[in-house]
Amino acid sequence: MGLPSPIFSDSSPENHKSLLDYILSNSPIVLFSADETGLMNFASGKALDMLGLDSSAFIGTNFVQHQWNAEIREEDGTVRSLEQTEALKLVLSGREISAETVFLGRHFAVRISPAMGEDGKVKGLVGVSLDITDRKIAEDILEKRTVDFQTLIGVLPVVVFSISPEGRIILADGKGLERLKINPKEVVGKTIFERAQNQPEVLEAFSQALKGEESIYHTEINGLLLETRMYPRLSRSGRIQEILGIVYDISDRMEYEKKIKQNEEKYRSLFQNNPQIMFVFDRSSLQILAVNRTAILAYGYSEEEFIGKSIADLRPEEDRPHLFEAIRNLKEGLNSFPEMRHLKKDGDMMYLDIVSSPIRFQNTDAVLVSGTDVSERVRVTRENRFNLEVISQVNDAIIALDGDMNVTYCNDYAAKMYEVDAGECLGKHYTTLFKEDWISEENYQAAMQDWENLGASKRELIHTLRSGKKITIESNFKKINAEGYLVPGLIMVNRDISEKIESRRSLEEALQGLAKTNKELEQFAYIASHDLQEPLRTIASYLQLLERKFSEEIKPEMREFIQVSVEAAKRQQGLIESLLSYSRIGSDSVKKSKGDANRILDEVRKDLSSVIQETNTDLVLEGPFPEVYADQDQIRRLFSNLISNGIKFRSPNRDPEIHIKVKHVPGANVFSVSDNGIGMDSKYFDRIFIIFQKLHTRSEYPGTGIGLSICKKIVENHGGKIWVQSSPGHGSEFFFTLPEV
């Protein structure tokens, strides 16, 4: 504590004056006095400064000259106005008065007392005015608020109440009492314990409020759902003075909340069960806040994995800058983004048509995303684009027509072939490109029959261009469904075969000439062979006859000459017979039919049984063998020649072994005939199939050298080929192909 102020510790008269000066200088008061005529002789105080005045404005003036509005409270409690003259008279009559005045716009509490002389008579007056402007303003505000509050509770459907700490209801007011059909007189004065019968929640809330806590409970009265809140009102010392409460009718609110909840459930169900991919993400953090079942199935994430994931994680890294820019530039309403690339959990890509809308979700700025998986559309579009690009490069005229036979598509080659600009023919009737001329009535009728029965046809036609030029084309045309038309459209693929027709004509002429030549050659070979054999038979016969008839007279040397001549004639006759046989195996002589290769080989085995036994040959048929569509006799001869060839060229050091096998390849069967004979050098692989070509002398291996030539001709007659693999001393393996049945 510091030393006491000398002003308050000194009780001398001088100190009293100093104390008075201190009060006048620091308190919002005015101290004044006047004589019995009302002439003011003193005025001082800080309140004069607050009014912007000094003492000279009052000293020497009369008390009644100053305008004021004053009110005085009578002994019976009534309040009336008090004028200056009456106030002066009352004070001079010895009465002390207290009033509130308004002076120069400020409020003062005034106390005026009679000033008594030494003789006990009233000599004038002395007064003090306290500036209470701030207090009056506060009172006015409080009064206004009180009125407003009373107005509100008189209008709003609420009930306000006050309960003493002992539980007695002090106040019950408000428009809500009318709705509850409760008379406040029936409530005020009662205890809360009386009112809360069979309502433990009321007493529990009251008990909670007595502990200094706000409490809330719900009840139902007269069919109305009510929410009651209780608040403790504390004194400055912290003691509970009363419990204040307010009762709300929340029936409408609860109904509204119920509808909101139902709507929320409905929209949540629509969101969850929507066939569209849907999710919501925070616009700032980009974290996903909600996701529906369709999105879960489409992306492959669980709901737990989705929530909290960044929307950027669903996009390829190179697409993310575009994503961030799009989010920044989102406008209110719908924002569309077609064919956006999105990543699934397994890394696969899918394409979505996205519609995004800014929304408020969970009290944050968010974006609702709705997506449609268009991956298949993108794939088909790209394929179509690729196909159109491919079609545009095809060297055939491709033209599509709608149900009215107007051109809806033609590739670049079509424009070139029909001598028009690209795109010029679109939307126009096809006759602006060309006019067709059917080669014959039969050709036209056949095309129309195909069109009706098959919906497609392939025919050769003559197209006349706008220039008058005629081209021969091969047209493949097929019905197509033309959208919006009852009749079908068509697509045609036209190929200019003018040169092909000319080449075909030349080829047909050459083939006819070749066929004629071959026929003539076959006839010549047959006739020549027959005519050549006759003199050879005559020569051989007469030589043999000469040898028998003059056998005793012929010298040994002459006999040798005759024998050489006869053998030469017979050998020549064998060559002619081989030539005749070769000429007979022509393509015209082939008579194909289905046959069993197993049966054919069994018959060949029987035909060669004698030579097989004589040579101790082991013939192994590694079947089963397939059916063949071939000339059965020629195939039988083919196998017979190859087996005989293997026996003929056997090794002198071992018994012959011949294996026949078959292997299937796409579109054909490959037969093989292998032996363990003497083999051959690879340089002879082509030579052995040429007619009359032999690798050995007649003394070593007799024969004309025509057997493998016949094999080659038989295989070629059936559209196959024949070849050999061999090495000297290790045998040979002949292969040939026949088309599969």
Judge contact between 435 and 422, C-beta under 8 A.
no
DSSP string, 220-286: EETTEEEEEEEEEEE-TTS-EEEEEEEEEE-HHHHHHHHHHHHHHHHHHHHHHH-SSEEEEEETTT-
566-595 per-position pLDDT tens digit: 666 666 665 666 566 666 666 556 778 888
Other Cβ atoms less than 10 A from the Cβ of 589: the count is: 13
CATH number of 588-739: 3.30.565.10
* CATH domain 272-378 topology: Beta-Lactamase (3.30.450)
User: Which residues are 157's β-sheet partners?
Assistant: none
Whether residue 624 has a cis bond before it, omega within 30° of 0: yes
Give the strand pairing for 732-739 and 722-726.
antiparallel
> Taking 90 as the threshold, does the pLDDT of residue 281 lie above it?
yes
Least confident range of 154-158, 241-245, 378-382, 627-631: 154-158
100-138 per-position pLDDT tens digit: 888 888 888 889 999 988 888 888 999 898 888 888 888
Distance of CA 51 to the CA centre of its chain: 81
**Structural domain spans, the chain:** 23-135, 156-250, 272-378, 396-496, 502-559, 588-739
Amino acid at 722: I
Residue range 378-387: mean pLDDT, rounded: 83
CATH superfamily for 156-250 is PAS domain (3.30.450.20)
Q: How many CA atoms lie less than 13 Å away from 397 in the CB half-sphere?
A: 27
For the CA atoms of 265, 271, 272, 277, the dihedral, rounded to the nearest 10 degrees, stands at 180
> Taking 80 as the threshold, does the pLDDT of residue 668 lie above it?
yes
CATH number of 23-135: 3.30.450.20
Question: What are 23-27's contacts with CB under 8 Å, separation 24+?
Answer: 27/130
Residue range 545-552: mean pLDDT, rounded: 73
Distance CA 14, CA 313 (A): 90
CATH number of 396-496: 3.30.450.20
138-182 per-position pLDDT tens digit: 888 877 876 766 666 666 778 888 899 998 998 888 888 887 888
> Taking 80 as the threshold, does the pLDDT of residue 691 lie above it?
no
Length of the chain measured in residues: 741
Using 50, 70 and 90 to split pLDDT, how confident is the model at 53? confident
Amino acid at 264: E
Is 156-250's fold the same as 588-739's?
A: no
Q: At what angle do helices 707-717 and 556-584 cross, to 10 degrees?
A: 10
> Taking 50 as the threshold, does the pLDDT of residue 285 lie above it?
yes
Distance CA 72, CA 101 (A): 9
